[in-house]
Amino acid sequence: MKRRDFIKTGGLAGVGAGLTILNFPVFGKNAPSNKLVLGVMGVNSRGNWLAQCAAKLPGAEIGYICDVEDGAIAKGLKAVAGAQDRKPTVIKDIRQLLERKDFDALFVATPDHWHAPAAIMATAAGKHVYVEKPCAHNPAEGELLIAAAKKYNRLVQMGSQRRSWPNMQQAIKEVKEQQVLGKIYYGKSWYTNNRQPIGIGKKIPVPDTLNWDLWQGPAPRRDYLDNIVHYNWHWRWHWGTSETCNNGTHELDCLRWFMDLEFPTKVTSAGGRYAYPKDDWETPDTQTLNFEFEGSKAISWEGRSCSAFNLEGSDRGFAIFGDNGTLYNSGGDSYKIVDLKGKVVKEVKQATNANQSAVNTVSPAGEYYDAIHINNFLESIRGNAKLNAEINVAFRSTLLPLLGNIAQRTGRVLHTDPSNGHILNDAEAMKLWKREYEKGWAPKV
């Protein structure tokens, strides 16, 4: 689908007021002379989708695709071909891509261990960055990315799409400005899925279609196994960050946003690999995180990766509790406000063309809602908007599940500094604040 068709009949016009909501100028600053050329790193799944969405937006073009696997590259080229006339140039090594001066921003949708290192490299090369969640594989990387964005004066947006959704922005005003919930004291979030076992990986020769060295990049080298690429790396600590960061980041970000929370004072985790314990899945498939904050506030996240029974009536979502009522979100751009007696006093539904599903690993929310957030990034580069998920904000939300993972892996209650989230008086836990890197690959600012 070409961008003109996308605007007329697809993702943006499908809600009637789509163009008004998105504030798309067709001319002026979005004229061809102000076109933004984009590179996308990692196009097998999520990056493929982001490339499609971005290519359909006015004044944007995918100039480069960067991936290390031939099948993913073919998928990326095919996807973009349906959205723009120009065929992107393929460069497999991100270091070589960032030497190019003829593009403006990089989208990073690689495995998690690449997110912060690639984003840091891109800012140093003068590129703005859209990085998928989590923005870092470990807390130290997130702090480095913040420093890099500041040092090189680049915009860095994380894929926390909910901060750009119109109904969520409306709900924020009701909660913060109108105080419809009264004094807020607790937030709860959840995620469920029906993921299957990943088996025991076999050591086999690396396929000719994959550059395993570049795929590993900053991570210390490991043997190639047949059950890692393309998705199951999520559940291995060496490359992934567990379901907590894979999906929990979104709702935890909403709780932070609605409740005006920064860094916690206490973090606990309970769970493990319970559903299918005899495979290579290392991270928890069942986990509950709890966070306490100054001001007598607390939040929680419950994740069940391998049992699709809904919690609180939906496969994912969050609820915020105040002394005057509760706000309930079922995972999309909708919400209910319920009084203390359980009566629904207001309900706002999301756009009818949304395609929401927690088990959709490519786009749980649907094209329209991804396009809104991407457009916020592009319009911020043009100077017409401010980032809705700027890296300073995004890192705070990523840090919560990262701290939850540290609590889980150490089996400890973490006490943290409310000014920066650093773990207090626990040298053993602080060892997981950062990671080791392959020689020559450590991110630097």
The boundaries of the domain holding residue 37 are: 3-162
Same structural domain, 64 and 9: yes
Same structural domain, 231 and 118: no
Could you report the per-residue pLDDT of 14-39, keeping only the tens digit for each? 332 333 334 444 334 445 557 999 99
Same structural domain, 33 and 174: no
Q: Where would I find the H helices in 38-165?
A: 46-55, 70-81, 94-97, 112-124, 139-151
Q: Do residues 38 and 63 touch, judged by C-beta distance below 8 A?
A: yes
Low-confidence residues of the chain: pLDDT under 50 = 4, 6-11, 13-30
Same structural domain, 23 and 80: yes
Q: Is 265 part of any domain?
A: yes
Same structural domain, 304 and 398: yes
Residue 157, strand partner residues: 130, 390
Q: How far apart are CA 380 and CA 391, in angstroms?
A: 13
Q: Model-level pTM?
A: 0.91
Q: Do residues 103 and 38 touch, judged by C-beta distance below 8 A?
A: yes
Last residue of a domain, one of 162, 189, 219: 162
Q: Is 367 part of any domain?
A: no
Q: Which CA distances in Å does 309 have to 193, 323, 358, 361, 405?
A: 8, 29, 12, 18, 23
Burial of 305 (0-12, 13-18, 19+ CB in 10 A): buried
Q: How far apart are CA 73 and CA 423, in angstroms?
A: 41
Provide the pLDDT for residue 364: 56
Last residue of a domain, one of 138, 162, 186: 162
Same structural domain, 175 and 154: no
Q: Is 376 part of any domain?
A: no
Q: Do residues 292 and 277 touch, judged by C-beta distance below 8 A?
A: no
Provide the pLDDT for residue 45: 87
Same structural domain, 189 and 148: no
Same structural domain, 63 and 183: no
Provide the pLDDT for residue 28: 41
Q: Is 396 part of any domain?
A: yes
Q: Nearest 5°: phi and psi at 335?
A: -160, 160
Provide the pLDDT for residue 25: 42
* Strands 335-338 and 316-322, sheet pairing: unpaired
The helix-helix angle for 391-410 and 139-151 (nearest 10°) equals 160
Same structural domain, 151 and 176: no
Q: Is 304 part of any domain?
A: yes
Q: Is 311 part of any domain?
A: yes
Same structural domain, 128 and 183: no
User: Under the phi-then-psi rule, with left for phi > 0, alpha for psi from -120 to 50, and beta for the rest, what region is 13?
Assistant: alpha
Q: How far apart are CA 206 and CA 225, in angstroms?
A: 8
Domain count, the chain: 2
Provide the pLDDT for residue 355: 55
Same structural domain, 130 and 218: no
Provide the pLDDT for residue 428: 95
Provide the pLDDT for residue 121: 98
The domain that contains 278 carries what CATH number? 3.30.360.10
Same structural domain, 7 and 56: yes
Which amino acid appears at position 59 of this protein? G
Q: Is 258 part of any domain?
A: yes
Last residue of a domain, one of 133, 162, 191: 162
Could you report the per-residue pLDDT of 122-177, keeping only the tens digit for each? 999 999 999 999 999 999 999 999 999 999 999 999 999 999 999 999 999 999 99
Q: Do residues 120 and 383 touch, judged by C-beta distance below 8 A?
A: no
Provide the pLDDT for residue 83: 87
Q: How far apart are CA 52 and CA 373, in angstroms?
A: 14
Q: Is 379 part of any domain?
A: no
Q: Where would I find the H helices in 246-366?
A: 249-259
- Contacts of residues 434-438 at CB distance under 8 Å and 24 or more positions apart, as own/partner, are 434/138, 434/139, 434/140, 434/141, 435/137, 435/138, 435/140, 435/141, 436/220, 437/218, 437/219, 437/220, 438/216, 438/217, 438/218, 438/219, 438/220, 438/221
Q: How far apart are CA 327 and CA 347, in angstroms?
A: 10
